[in-house]
Structure 1
Amino acid sequence: MENNNSLVLLFDSAESFITCDFSVPGQIWQLFSFSPPLVLLPEESQRDTSFDNLTFPYSNSYVYFPWFIERSRNQPKGMAIFSLIIAVIKVLLIFPPSSSASDVITHDHPLPDGRTLVSKDGIFELGFFSPGSSTNRYVGIWYKSISQKTVVWVANREKPVKYNSSVLSINTEGRLVLLSQNQTIVWSANSTTQGLNPIAQLLDSGNLVLRNEQDQNPQNYLWQSFDYPSDTFLPGMKIGWDLKTGLNRRLIAWRNWDDPSPGDFTCGIALRATPELVMWKGSEEIHRSSPWNGVWIGAKPTPLFQLQFVVNEDEVVYTSNLLDKSVTTRVVLNQTVYSRQRYIWVEQTKSWMIYSSVPNDKCDRYNSCGPNGNCIASESPRCQCLTGFKPKSPQKYDALDWTQGCVRTEPWHCRVKDKDGFKKFSGLKLPDTRTSWVNASMTLWECKAKCWENCSCNAYANLYITGGGSGCILWFGHLIDLRVVTVPGQDLFIRMAYSDIVLEDAEKHKKKVVVVVTTVTFALVLLMLLTFFSIHRRNRKRREKILTEDGHEGEQKDIELPLFDIATIIRATNDFSSDKKLGQGGFGPVYRGTLEDGQEIAVKRLSEGSRQGLKEFKNEVIMCAKLQHRNLVKVLGCCIERGEKMLIYEYMPKKSLDSILFDFCQSESLNWPQRFHIIFGIARGLVYLHQDSRLRIIHRDLKASNILLDKDLNPKISDFGIARMFGADQMEGNTKKVIGTYGYMAPEYAVYGIFSIKSDVFSFGILLLEIISGKRNRGASYPNYGFNLISHAWRLWKEGNTKELIDACLGDSFNLSELLRCIHVALLCVQLRPDDRPNMALVLVMLSSENALPEPKEPGFLLEGPSAKGEYYSSNEITLTLLQAR
């Protein structure tokens, strides 16, 4: 029965305890022959003070013995205590304790309200909950490891229970069921196959599965919650159709925050000529993604997630997988604003941050500009008719009513030469495909011919963009839901009269004839292999000889780079002639050279008088051998011979960033898109060093002169002479000898010699401010603002005049909101306390999204003056500062 939210289990009467036989054997026999009444109360419930009986906590519950005090009055005190001990033993036998950390439900071990399941690694938790201010009880799954309770799945969302006495269990038929207090089935998992000794298990993915106890193969699951999602899309989950069973997996929003029952806002896959991801409000379509093009579906590629669209004879599904396992993310349907939102958990603020939201603008609304209308969010008015079309109702179009759309200005003549043709429109979201025809194997040329032959065909395009484009889509009737997209759009070829086609040829097809002679190719490959093995063997022998002669045989295992002989380097640099000299570094000069095969190189030569170069040279050799990334400078090899020690790099035609950025004549050639490309590349390189490489690398000398640029202005981080390697679990280090460049050092490193990944984040913030302003952090004058760029930027930020920081050379080439966001991120990076600075992975997220950012605190080195003490080694490209840590 129900009493004070307690589950009362009544067994046979305990009247048999009052007997004339008070012997120990008699009492033992009676206690194990009869069952005393007891009460089990959930742990979180409060004990009713009206209970005047004995109770004790047991396995997340309380056990009451209502009979003990009454019976103790009729028995000797010793026998009453003995009876209680026997009763407790019997409870332990009847109700074995359950583990609070269990992740499974079995037939013998159900899950009552008040207890939970926790996945193996403690990521997700399953149990009963009441949302918001509601008193209804639901079975749900939420994040265990996140302080803010976030429900991601609800079982009985249409049938809540009213009391705290329900149980989630596996019945005798092997089905997962939710039983109410009167043992009525409220909800059940609709598994069609009866398992052999089935169990329900909560996985670390957030998936609740019903499977046979001895079978962990996902293909053999009897049932899984991922097939019946609520309002949340988790990594590894699928949205779409199982074509074999007819199962349609779709997201359905909560009705409101207090009611998880299904609302009228849904998201799923629409089976059309090519399937599309669609959102509906009731039966009204409110958003449609672009068709799957082999790379993305309505969203730009991101380094955090991998989006996939699978179409085959078994299923048509959309799925998302995490590329960075340290990121916690979810996608939620929000019925309040009718939006699909992706959230990322930010541990520093203990809150969810919106990473992206769909619809993102008014052009994302389905068919917002009517048939044959093109929506351009950045223009006003946003709706325009395509070339060759005109408004169907000019009066309504001028009144910003675009529902009737556009019609052709002139009819075209089907299959009449020089009367009609196709015009290419680029950067578009392709139209709705419900009136389309698809062929996945056609070429673009065959697709055009197919459309030309059909007088009802209005447009065609490639189905996939990978490999130069493949497949064919034909559109018949009106072109619905067109828009210009900010992510790389697709080419759409629209049929129209020749008189409406612009004179330039929109289709310039070049026939490429590739002649492959098998025997010649095989001979070349074989020759290359023989040459490679010969060079490798010769280099290995020379390496052993050189290291032995120079006394470095004990360090041979550290040298993993290819070895160049000194004669090759002398020829390449014209005997280190002065006209080949690129600059003078802190450890020696840098020369430009050309190898015999025509490859251009840069040679960093350790000078004999360098006081610190030998150790740093070896450090850089070891580092460069272990690091491979497109935003790190590529080291081709080294030369250790005749007392010389040299590093050979790939040659960077644009030289270093500072040579362009701080040069008044050249800085004008560096527009904002190019600068942002450089910023993003540096950030990617630091993310690799800090978390994606085999070992965590702290650069310690990140500055503009150590950022090299290739011919396409791709940034390459260079100079790892003073970099330090950390183990995967090491967070910071310290040194008594501070080496680096003053003006880029973090405060904790310059003052105390403590360095970590947050030291590089500080240097990145300085570099970001320099790229935005075109000015050096130190060495420039900032009247009334202090003596460095940080002070200048901080004062402008506080005064609300941040735009004054922008380099005048940028002119009008920049996106103001994007540039101001970069200044905001830079100020977050240069905060005084390392714990206040974001890590580089979070910096990437901040730079690539449009979400609100936290307010920056006061930066480090704010009041720095020109009298900072230090010993400098200055040259054209490298500045090294030595400070004694205090």
Structure 2
Amino acid sequence: MEILKIPLFFSSLFSILIVSNTVDTITKTHSITGSNTIVSSGGSFEMGFFSPGSSRNQYLGIWYKNISVRTVVWVANREIPLLDSAGVLTIINPGSLALVHGTGNVIWSPNMTGSTWDPVAQLMESGNLVVRDANDQSGHFLWQSFDYPCDTLLPGMKLGKNFVTGLERHLSSWKSSDDPAPGEFTYRCDPQGYPQNILSRGSVELYRTGPWNGIGFSGRPNLKPNTIYKYEVVYTKEEVYYHYELLSSVISRVIMSHNGVLERWTWIDETREWVLYSTGPADNCDNYKLCGPNGDCNVGNLPPCGCLSKFVPRNQTEWGNGDWSYGCDRRTPLDCHNGDGFIKHSGYKLPDPRNSWFDRNMTLGECEMVCLKNCSCMAYANLDIRSGGSGCLLWFDELIDMKELNVNVQDIYIRMASSELVHSKKREIVAVTLALLVGLILLSISLIVYLRKRKRKNSQLNREGILMHKSEHGYTNKTQKEDLELPLFDFTVIADSTNNFSINNKLGEGGFGPVYKGTLEGGQEIAVKRISKNSSQGLDEFKNEVICIAKLQHRNLVKLLGCCIQGEETMLIYEYMPNKSLDYFIFDQSQSMLLDWSKRFHIINGIARGLLYLHQDSRLRIIHRDLKASNILLDIDMNPKISDFGIARSFGGNETEASTNRVIGTYGYMSPEYAIDGLFSAKSDVFSFGVLVLEIVSGKKNRGFYHPGHRLNLLGHVSVLIRSNLICVRKSYALI
């Protein structure tokens, strides 16, 4: 600001003026100088000279009167400090308020919109310094400090722009805690496109609140209607501004700190201190455009950046290196003239609206039609979410700065190619089905608990296929009372991971149905067992496997990651075993060469350890009943893992043996008492393990073995060899 000169006799006149501490106005006979101040009528604010922090410079400012910690809310001469205490705030001719140095230099003077010969400056109870005509009580101000905020937004202040006068009100940080000069950071209400508040460092945007939706800002879901203050954005033809008003006696202020953080503070009388109420940016995902165009930021993920659904990284190499600035593209390009559509996204901070268009009177359906007809329109949403939603907000070109929120504040509809809409509809149907399924599961469990307490007898558990009936499967009461904690996968997630169950992803097929390899979005590889409609193993076996393996944890048991039960689909999702199953190696002439004796011993030992765990160390004593080479999977290090618990049975208490009329399993591995009489126990699994060991050692299948001298299987052949060796041993002993 240019320093003006006034006659020296004014300086002498100011030094003898009588100053009062009890008034709230400055007139031609009342000024502020030295340590004297003026105080608002209710005693809330005080105005005078101060030195910030450790600085010796003098500034004219306004601060809270009754707060022990001096908290300055406005500074007049931010850029031109006084180097001594010779400043005076007074009325000078021809009717203007001015901060004058003792030398006669005008340090600061407001740019008033009108003139008067008898002005007064008054400090209002709101903290607003106003200049008006002494005889005008209509509330018309020639100038007010609220139109020229510094780093603090007080209740009643406007943050925005007047389109008629061109006046823009925004916050600007101090340079430091000792220097109130305008710093690097600003916070303003930006009307471009549709109003939102933006924090910037110079010309670089750092953070934005998201567009105003009638209740709050879409990117600040935690800023909700409350009993402390109310807030809103006003948008008319004449002006746009954000402001807030206090609803209680609480003292609250918003500041643009010199560190670049927007802070809301509340004064607590009981502790006599300021308490930080909220900040912006709140987390890493609030950093403007962190994930690039069409990116999706989730602070709970590491790394936080991903692509919106149906989008893929634009530059995969840079994306993998942690540079997300290139953003994402639709995986299926739009084809506007052949029919696009929209997919609803919920729980997001809405994109930057500075390249948007709006209409307050449209319905959401009309909004969709307008966007659909314009090939440049990329998304639409309600303008105002109050009372069910109204108005239309359209985005053009790329969607910038979207963030996943922990709550759903507002829906946005993003344009997609028509081929993507089919998958989306399926996802919605599956989601509804899953919600109903979960509801039925919870209802069923509650009913089961009630019936058990009342009738104390067995009851049918969850009809949707998670638990099993005790009388049919031999599970104990204790087992049935334990809750099953197993993730439920969405069918569309599994379908996407397996490329819609492509034949190229098929790993094999058993009596239950095919098994596919899949890759989840995070990169995790999985094996998907899809139960066939014509499967020899039905829903009971599916239930049984879920119950058994979900409660088992051992390095030599395959890990069940979750299941999928939707419509007619039932699937089990396992960890992926890259080396397939044991039979792939031991029964193949070329592959068997990869298994030397140390590896074969390692595999036998691992199977034995897993079996020992099932029989003795697990919470449930499990009899597998189908131990065979194809049910032993091998991980990348050739460690064996027992799989397929579809026909496994659990023993409880002192139970050691059971019988069944339904003998199921694989012939050649069954013990005689199980195959003939239906009796099974831990010994049954040990018998199967013995057969498996013989196959691993010999590389021959038990039932596929052929010897020209007899028609016995491998087990029978070994028996012949043993008897022959025993005879030889006996003869040798006889000769000694």
Q: TM-score range by the shorter chain?
A: 0.5 to 0.7
Shift of 1:454: 0.9
Residue identity matched to 1:117: I
Q: 2:289 touches 2:400 (CA, 8 Å); kept in 1? A: yes
Residue identity matched to 1:445: G
After TM superposition, list the pairs within 5 Å mapping 1:731-746 onto structure 2: none
CA spacing shift, 1:158–1:318, aligned 2, 3 Å: same
Distance 1:39 1:138 in 2: 18
1:131-161 Cα distance to aligned partner (Å, 9 max, x none): 1111111100001100000100000001111
Distance 2:9 2:97 in 1: 23
Distance 1:344 1:192 in 2: 34
Partner of 1:307: 231
1:651-688 Cα distance to aligned partner (Å, 9 max, x none): xxxxxxxxxxxxxxxxx9xxxxxxxxxxxxxxxxxxxx
Distance 1:198 1:39 in 2: 17
After TM superposition, list the pairs within 5 Å mapping 1:538-577 onto structure 2: none
CA spacing shift, 1:110–1:477, aligned 2, 3 Å: same
SS of the aligned residue for 2:399 comes to coil
Q: 1:307 touches 1:319 (CA, 8 Å); kept in 2? A: yes
Distance 2:14 2:76 in 1: 29
Task: State the identity %.
Answer: 45
Partner of 2:99: 178
Matching residue within 286, 306, 309 for 2:206: 286
Matching residue within 327, 331, 346 for 2:254: 331
Distance 1:118 1:506 in 2: 64
Distance 1:217 1:485 in 2: 47
Shift of 1:507: 9.3
Q: 2:150 touches 2:173 (CA, 8 Å); kept in 1? A: yes
SS of the aligned residue for 2:353 comes to coil
Residue identity matched to 1:184: N
Distance 1:506 1:441 in 2: 32
Partner of 2:362: 442
Q: 1:387 touches 1:500 (CA, 8 Å); kept in 2? A: no
Distance 2:420 2:104 in 1: 74
After TM superposition, list the pairs within 5 Å mapping 1:76-95 onto structure 2: none
Q: 1:444 touches 1:462 (CA, 8 Å); kept in 2? A: yes
Q: 1:436 touches 1:473 (CA, 8 Å); kept in 2? A: yes
CA spacing shift, 1:9–1:461, aligned 2, 3 Å: closer
Residue identity matched to 1:222: L
Partner of 1:373: 295
Distance 2:19 2:58 in 1: 22
Query: Number of aligned pairs?
Result: 418
SS of the aligned residue for 2:172 comes to strand
Partner of 2:304: 382
Partner of 2:734: none
Shift of 1:274: 0.6
Partner of 2:167: 247
Partner of 1:100: 21
After TM superposition, list the pairs within 5 Å mapping 1:137-152 onto structure 2: 137-152=58-73
Residue identity matched to 2:111: N
Q: 1:107 touches 1:172 (CA, 8 Å); kept in 2? A: no
Partner of 2:245: 321
Shift of 1:467: 1.6
Partner of 1:123: 44
Asked if 1:231 corresponds to 2:151, the answer is yes
Partner of 1:746: none
Shift of 1:178: 0.5
Residue identity matched to 1:227: D
Matching residue within 88, 112, 130 for 1:191: 112
CA spacing shift, 1:208–1:395, aligned 2, 3 Å: same
Distance 1:10 1:478 in 2: 62
Q: 1:415 touches 1:453 (CA, 8 Å); kept in 2? A: no
Partner of 1:452: 372
Distance 1:390 1:399 in 2: 15
Matching residue within 61, 77, 82 for 1:156: 77
Shift of 1:124: 0.4
Distance 2:323 2:250 in 1: 43
CA spacing shift, 1:405–1:101, aligned 2, 3 Å: same
Q: 1:273 touches 1:437 (CA, 8 Å); kept in 2? A: yes
Shift of 1:214: 2.9
Shift of 1:473: 1.3
SS of the aligned residue for 1:434 comes to helix
Shift of 1:215: 2.4
Which of 1 and 2 has greater Rg? 2
Residue identity matched to 2:103: N
CA spacing shift, 1:161–1:487, aligned 2, 3 Å: farther
CA spacing shift, 1:175–1:402, aligned 2, 3 Å: same
Shift of 1:498: 2.8
Q: 2:343 touches 2:424 (CA, 8 Å); kept in 1? A: no
Residue identity matched to 1:152: V
Distance 2:428 2:75 in 1: 53
Distance 1:145 1:119 in 2: 11
Distance 2:327 2:347 in 1: 20
Distance 2:316 2:189 in 1: 36
Distance 1:115 1:400 in 2: 58
Gaps of 5+ in 2: 1-7, 430-482, 484-736
Matching residue within 403, 408, 416 for 2:325: 403
CA spacing shift, 1:279–1:328, aligned 2, 3 Å: same
Asked if 1:340 corresponds to 2:262, the answer is yes
Matching residue within 476, 488, 502 for 2:396: 476
Residue identity matched to 1:321: E
Matching residue within 251, 259, 281 for 1:359: 281
Q: 2:19 touches 2:32 (CA, 8 Å); kept in 1? A: no
SS of the aligned residue for 1:356 comes to strand
Residue identity matched to 2:50: F
Distance 1:497 1:330 in 2: 47
1:475-530 Cα distance to aligned partner (Å, 9 max, x none): 1111001111235421111111233233437999xxxxxxxxxxxxxxxxxxxxxx
Shift of 1:98: 3.9
Residue identity matched to 1:346: I
Q: 2:162 touches 2:240 (CA, 8 Å); kept in 1? A: yes
After TM superposition, list the pairs within 5 Å mapping 1:697-776 onto structure 2: none
Distance 1:441 1:116 in 2: 52
Distance 1:507 1:108 in 2: 75
Moved segments of 4+, more than 6 Å: 8-11, 37-40, 505-508
1:784-822 Cα distance to aligned partner (Å, 9 max, x none): xxxxxxxxxxxxxxxxxxxxxxxxxxxxxxxxxxxxxxx
Distance 1:371 1:126 in 2: 48
Distance 1:408 1:170 in 2: 65
Residue identity matched to 2:88: V
Residue identity matched to 2:102: Q
SS of the aligned residue for 2:369 comes to helix
Residue identity matched to 1:427: G
Residue identity matched to 1:361: D
Structure 1 length-normalised TM: 0.46
Q: 1:424 touches 1:507 (CA, 8 Å); kept in 2? A: no
Residue identity matched to 1:399: N
Partner of 2:271: 349
Distance 1:208 1:486 in 2: 42
SS of the aligned residue for 1:168 comes to strand
Partner of 1:499: 419
Matching residue within 337, 352, 375 for 1:432: 352
Partner of 1:203: 124
Structure 2 length-normalised TM: 0.55
Residue identity matched to 2:196: E
Residue identity matched to 2:30: H
Gaps of 5+ in 1: 1-7, 12-36, 41-93, 509-667, 669-886
CA spacing shift, 1:295–1:10, aligned 2, 3 Å: closer
Matching residue within 140, 165, 168 for 2:89: 168
1:267-294 Cα distance to aligned partner (Å, 9 max, x none): 1122311122101001100011111101
Distance 1:488 1:235 in 2: 29
Q: 2:45 touches 2:65 (CA, 8 Å); kept in 1? A: yes
Residue identity matched to 1:366: Y
Distance 2:94 2:426 in 1: 70
Q: 1:390 touches 1:406 (CA, 8 Å); kept in 2? A: yes
SS of the aligned residue for 2:122 comes to strand
CA spacing shift, 1:498–1:39, aligned 2, 3 Å: closer
